[in-house]
Structure 1
Amino acid sequence: MQRKTKLGMALGVTLVAGTLLASGVVLAGGSCKGGGPGRGPDPLERFDTNGDGKLTTEELRDFRTERLHKFDKNGDGHLGLDEFEGAWLAGMETRMVRRFQHFDRDGSGEVTEEEYLRPVTRMMRHLDRDGDGTVTREELRKMHRYHGGPRRGHH
């Protein structure tokens, strides 16, 4: 399969998955059925209101309409920025909690400075290919190319 075809297929799958998640995440509020530690929301369980194991446009639209009305505080049928902010934050709550749990390695309910800085240490270890404690532009370019980024000086 040609690289363009593979990229196109990957983009298509990503867009479909993103659309399903965005359908609920942005206006979801609260936790998602089927979720759990380390797992994302299960769009099928969350939005399949008639329980037939399939998602329809109508089910997704009904869910979002319900959420729009929940966050439309002034009742005008629209979400202003302040109302949308509430919907967005509610929808991102599950993701935020998962990220917090990722940082809180010892499960203490608090993120220590060491836990918070741990990803920086891992990233530097990964990017600093020659082990000199610094990351150069060339090391970044090599890493970018290794992960499929632009070639020959394109940024």
Structure 2
Amino acid sequence: MSYRNTGLGLALALAFAGSAAAQKPAADAKPADPAARLLHRMDRNGDGRISFEEYRNAMLRRFDARDKNGDGKLDGEEFPKSWLAGAGIEDSGHSISRDEFSDQLEPTFNQFDADRDGQLAGAELESFVAARKARRESQP
């Protein structure tokens, strides 16, 4: 599949960020606010911000969890069809390697890191959550 459009990177990253699988222990109560839920899943050091490293690690954990056959790529049933909706990509097999996916993470993160401090917090985190919600609502 051709990934010339970075819209796929945003679509994939937002889809993964919206995953229901929590990354913290089940003992933690699940927050009601979407931004707080995202922090709950990704903020490993508990500082109330999501660093690029925390974001990247969370996203790659989700990729690995979907890669059922362990071949380092998502294809076939591993590749969620919802990721193609509105992504503006060529449909030629629905396959993406872990490296291709990883390459899209920093540009996606940077779209929301307005102050370029390497952290998503406050309004940046709210913008990320709003983009994820808009993406999800635009899918059929």
TM superposition score category, shorter chain reference = 0.3 to 0.5
TM-score by length of 2: 0.37
- Higher-Rg structure is 1
Which structure is richer in relative contact order (CA contacts within 8 A, separation 6 or more)? 2
TM-score by length of 1: 0.34
